[in-house]
Amino acid sequence: MDSVELNKRIDKVGNLLNFVHDTNTIKNLFDARNITISIIAVNVENFFIALKLSDSLLDVKYCKANFTDELEVKHLETLNFNYHGFIRDGFFNSIFIVIENHFRQLAEHYQVRESDSIKLVFKRLSENMIFESITEQEKKVFYFMCYLRNTMHNIGLQTKDNSYLDIHDANSIFENQKITLSLTKDSFNSINFDGFMLLIEQVIKLVIRINQLMPQDDIITHRLKNVYV
């Protein structure tokens, strides 16, 4: 990765951070809808900072001075590949945990059984009368995120059947044309950075829409209210 590609990634994450900040309109600071979006914003910001700091990893003099003087220019590609894979996985896992907790809290509040896998919890939640307008495409977005999460249990390998997700979001902050993401059985996850960011955007939009479907008077106190308020 060169500095041009890195700056493109930084810009994309910065745009996502601005988008998330602009969508948090819930005034009740204890409400799960408020806190979940706030935590998502913190995770996006952390990813943004990590990418900005990684600029130093393109400088062999910096790396030799701060890591090991045995490091050479030829090692930078591997160093950056490993680092960016690490922070991307960390960001994805953090976002997934926040969203999973959010859906489980909603399921508990609306008396939907929430002790099974998050995919089943989400399926039952989407069948609740309040959320029944959730589209098949929105369901596919979350299910694909679950499939991607499952590959991490197998060091990035897709052990299940092939999975595909078509995304065509005319209002996307990243890509307005149709994009297909795929996970191929017995192959390692090869979704590139642009596809990854597009998926994250779609999942965040799903959370926002679910929050909007909830009656405004339904207040669900977030489990982390004492930390974030």
Sequential DSSP letters for 67-94? T-TT--GGGHHHHHHHHHHHHHHHHHHH
CA 204/CA 210 separation, integer angstroms: 10
Does residue 205 fall inside a structural domain?
yes
The reported pLDDT for the residue numbered 227 is 66
**For residue 223, is it within any domain?**
no
Provide the pLDDT for residue 56.
Answer: 96
The answer as to whether 228 is a domain residue is no
Number of domains in the chain: 1
pLDDT for 114 equals 65
**Residue 112 within a domain:** yes
Residues 180 and 194 sit within 8 Å (Cβ to Cβ): no
pLDDT at 95: 97
> Which residue numbers in the chain have pLDDT < 50?
none
Instruction: Report how far residue 68's alpha carbon sits from residue 60's, in angstroms, rounded to the nearest whole number.
Output: 10
CA dihedral 5, 7, 9, 11 (to 10 degrees): -150
* Closest by CA position to 12, among listed 200, 209, 152, 207: 200
* Residue 224 within any structural domain of the chain: no
CA distance 221 to 5: 41
Which residue is associated with the tokens 């959010």? Answer: 102
Residue 202: inside a domain: yes
The reply to whether 73 falls in a domain is yes
In tens, the pLDDT along 93-147 reads: 999 999 999 999 999 988 887 678 899 999 999 999 999 999 999 999 999 999 9
What is the predicted pLDDT for the residue at 177? 95
Q: 20 lies in which domain range?
A: 3-218
Neighbours of 103 (CB within 10 A): 22
